[in-house]
Amino acid sequence: MLSMVEISEDLLQAEMDILNSDPVFNRVTIDSEVMSPEDLARDKENGSKIGAERYLIKEGERFVGILEFLMLNPSDNCTWLGLLQVDKKLQGHGYGPRMLDLYLEEMRRRNVSLFRIGVLEGNDPALGFWRHQGFEDIKMVKTVINNRNKTVFVLEKKIEC
């Protein structure tokens, strides 16, 4: 069974290990195959400023992924799933859909009926995963992330009760 563990300073290494397990994801998001502690601190500070919640996902004694979400995005007043990242070594073993189910369960508990995600252009595996999970494309936007121009596919999903 998967559980959400609020991230704290003593779990920084587990978080870094998961983030750096997937160089392709890092290349798309930060234009580098390795995320530094400074990159992570900046990312978490930006999320904290807008109220993001960030959790390590644990199965038994092993951390298997990271989940970050925003209950109310100030730019559109919608709930957003900002990050669902499975340790690269565990991808393809059903953790992504199980982590999504965990997130959906939490959103039902919080009475959320719809949420959005953004997938950066170039992250084709993630785009395929989300579409396979029933997300619908709603628009593409140009934005600046970490001082870099990026194109983001915005998708959304209705949460069934």
| The pLDDT of residue 90 | 97
Q: How far apart are CA 80 and CA 98, in angstroms?
A: 18
Question: Model confidence at 51, in pLDDT bands (50, 70, 90)?
Answer: very high
Q: Does the pLDDT of residue 53 top 90, yes or no? A: yes
User: Average pLDDT, stretch 147-154?
Assistant: 90
Q: Is 77 left (phi over 0), alpha (psi -120 to 50) or beta?
A: left
Whole-prediction pTM: 0.91
| The pLDDT of residue 130 | 96
Residues 85-144 have pLDDT tens digits of 999 999 999 999 999 999 999 999 999 999 999 999 988 989 999 999 999 999 999 988
Average pLDDT, the chain: 93
* Strand extents, DSSP E, the chain: 2-6, 53-59, 62-70, 79-86, 114-120, 136-145, 148-158
